Structure 1
Amino acid sequence: MADKLYFVIPCYNEEEVLPETARRLQEKMHALIKSGMISGDSRVVFVNDGSGDRTWEIIRNLHEKDGLFSGVNLSRNRGHQNALLAGLMTVRPYCDMAISMDADLQDDINACDRMLEKYYSGSDIVYGVRSARKTDTWFKRTTAEGFYSLMKHMGTNTVSNHADFRLMSRRALDGLSEFGEVNLFLRGIVPMIGYPSDVVYYERAERFAGTSKYPLKKMLSFAVEGITSLSIEPLRIISQLGIAVFLVSIAILIYSLIRYAMGATVPGWTFLAISIWAIGGLILLALGVIGEYIGKIYLETKARPRYLIREFLDSEHGFDTDKPRNLTRKDKYPFHS
């Protein structure tokens, strides 16, 4: 018997693209079920990450018209990584495998067939990796390549040109559930799980509709999040820089003493000013990096929930908040992490 597949699609203000995404996923699911690659109990789960438009209304309507579609509604906006984790952890008890992808249709839905083949061949994790960046601007292509290069040099184990388009088996999802970080960077956490993995290459399309949810500022923040969540290399760089500055200061001290002994002392105002500004800048930079890590420690020690789920539309498993029921608070909000 074929295994049960759940698609997990994080959504944030995706009302423009969601109907088309649902149509294409519906066609793909029916084709996969008909071919016998997946079970007829497979589902598509849209995760509403506190959208301010009609996204959740559309998800509700899709669920009412076709039981193939399910929905998870977070209590508020928690960010893409938390929304994705919320979806994966919610479907984990019900599926044999899950495929995560974005709602903007840039990920190639047809690549899922090859992912399933890799899964049935024994891979617990199958990464969707971009074969080229033809649709990107020069700036985005250059910054993306720089991002992956920087992550590699900082000691973080990520898959180059891979975002969050991946297949994970139930065993891999169970492994992911053991990671309790509040500061999430799934692109670095998933490779840490360590089960057999493989790669499927695909060409990434242009966004079907709407606007990108990752402008430059957010991308830079995401890069900092990834580095500081998974690597202590920046702290080591600060230590190395401190040693280098200390060695330079000793050399300057020896030079100054020799000049003093030779009676050739010079006021050296320019050199002194430059030294003060340079060392002051390095100190502030070091404090900023250390502060970033202290801030993450602060958030981790609080152990606040990474997400809270307000509603889960899934009538198959007896939990469908679209239908009137006498729910206790515990019944209505059973999912949180």
Structure 2
Amino acid sequence: MANKVLTIVVPCYDEQEVLHETSKLLKNIIDDLIEQNKISSNSKILFVNDGSKDKTWEIIEQLQSQEKVFTGIRLSRNFGHQNAVMAGLSRAVWYSDMMITIDADLQDDIQKIYEMVDKFYQGFDIVYGVRNNRDTDTGFKRTTAEAYYWLMTKMGVNLIPDHADYRLMSKRAVEALLEYHEENLFLRGIVPELGFNTTKVYYKRKERFAGESHYPLKKMLGLAIDGITSFTIAPIKLILYLGILMVLYGGGAIVLLGVTHHMSDYRSLINSLWLLGGIQLITLSIIGTYVGKVFNDVKKRPRFIIEDDTYSDRMKKIR
């Protein structure tokens, strides 16, 4: 078993406040797994600097100069969390047998890495880290998350409820994932589409160790919209059904007015115009979102640009 290389991919954006603690705890786990003869001594912790504006990259450089287990790649600018994860996996897959993605904020239970590695040796290609409670969330966030998973399921999207981006993937699973080239990445929806032999490990999510969350409500809403519009055309169908209902309602109202000879006042007319105008704007926005995704995809622009790749340099020397 000791010849299997594990790379832990950690996307980082302005994580200077947590990086020292995160690196120390992850190194302890890597060292322990090597000692248990479960992974190769060539296993690495790969930090992906996603255009941080603070001292994140300086800390990564310092860490990798002190310990060979630490490596890093630096993106030329901020490309977003999902693209940073893909950037790390695109490099790690060259040299690794298994890869774990985890955020730097220490909210995910890193002790579950032991169980994930064990599941890999049991024959599982994908091991999902799944929250078993939402006690650390606000009531609003908990309610909206539950509603979102329910909505996605009703729309036919195959999601793992309460799973974010904490997972283990085998080499062949990551190679399959890299075959997906869409511009608007939603890994939580793509990974379940891969198939392969999968399982779950459950954990209690913790409070952020330090600093502030980089996923405010605006970004969460954007990710939710990306998830819906990337995997289903249900909103387009909803527009069709809404249009049919409006035609039936309008036709019925005309017949009713003809029968009763009742003329509505101008206020009813204005309210109807506001209602119709609002519905039209919403439907145009939904259609525009889909058109915009097509526009971005057909340009075939790179999802990320790597400016500095210490990880590959080090792994080449090993190989």
Measured after TM superposition, the shift of residue 319 of structure 1 is 7.3
2:8 match? 7
Match of 1:235 in 2: 236
What is the CA distance between 1:257 and its match in structure 2?
A: 2.6
Aligned pair count?
A: 316
Provide, for residues 168-203 of structure 1, a one-character-per-residue CA deviation record: whole Å limited to 9, x for no partner: 000100110110101100010111111111010001
Counterpart check, 1:316 vs 2:314: yes
Q: Which amino acid aligns with 2:176?
A: G
8 Å CA contact 1:312, 1:319 repeated in 2: no
Partners in 1 of 2:95 and 2:264 — Cα distance?
76
Partners of 1:128 and 1:200 within 8 A in 2: yes
Conserved in 2, the CA contact under 8 Å of 1:100 and 1:167? yes
Q: Is the 8 A contact 2:71 2:310 kept in 1?
A: yes
Structure 1 moving runs of 4+ over 6 Å: none
1:200 and 2:201 correspond: yes
Q: Which residue is 1:330 aligned to?
A: none
Task: Show CA shifts across 1:236-292 (max 9, x none).
Answer: 111111111111112112223323xxxx34244333222222112111110011111
2:277 aligned with 1:301: no
Query: Which AA in structure 1 matches 2:37?
Result: G
Distance 1:267 1:7 in 2: 67
**Residue of structure 1 in register with 2:176 after alignment:** 175
Instruction: Give the partner amino acid of 1:271.
Output: S
SS of 1:109's equivalent in the other structure is coil
**Matches of 1:198 and 1:30, distance apart in 2:** 25
What secondary structure sits across from 1:243 in the alignment? helix
> 2:17: which partner in 1?
16
Give the 3 Å change call, closer, same or farther, for CA 9–255 of structure 1 in structure 2.
Answer: same
**Structural mapping, 1:86-101, within 5 Å:** 86-101=87-102
RMSD: 1.4
Q: Distance in 1 between matches of 2:138 and 2:269?
A: 44
Structure index of larger Rg: 1
TM-score scaled by length of structure 1: 0.91
Name whichever of 309-318 and 238-247 sits farther off: 309-318
Query: Would the aligned equivalents of 1:12 and 1:50 in 2 still touch at CA under 8 Å?
Result: yes
CA 1:319 to 1:233, structure 2 compared with 1: closer, same or farther past 3 Å? farther
Any idea what the Cα deviations from partners look like across 1:185-225, whole Å, max 9, x if unmatched?
Answer: 00101111111110100011111111100111111111111
- Structure 1 unaligned regions, length at least 5: 321-337
Shift of 1:118: 1.4
Are 2:282 and 1:281 aligned? no
Cα distance in 1 between the residues matched to 2:264 and 2:131: 59
Q: Is the 8 A contact 1:10 1:103 kept in 2?
A: yes
Query: Matched residue of 2:310: which SS?
Result: strand
Distance of 2:53 and 2:285 partners within structure 1: 34
Cross-structure match for 1:329 = none
Indicate conservation of the 8 Å contact 1:313/1:319, yes or no.
no
How big is each residue's C-alpha offset from its partner over 1:8-44, in whole Å with a ceiling of 9 and x where there is no partner? Answer: 0000000010000000011000001111111111110
Identity of aligned residues (%): 49
2:111 is paired with a residue whose SS is helix
| C-alpha distance in 2 between matches for 1:219 and 1:175 | 26
Alignment of 1:1-337 (within 5 A): 1-2=1-2, 3-259=4-260, 264-314=261-311, 315-318=313-316
Equivalent position SS for 1:256: helix
For residues 123 and 237 of structure 1, the distance between their equivalents in structure 2, rounded to whole angstroms, comes to: 38
Q: Answer with 228-237 or 94-103: which moved more.
A: 228-237
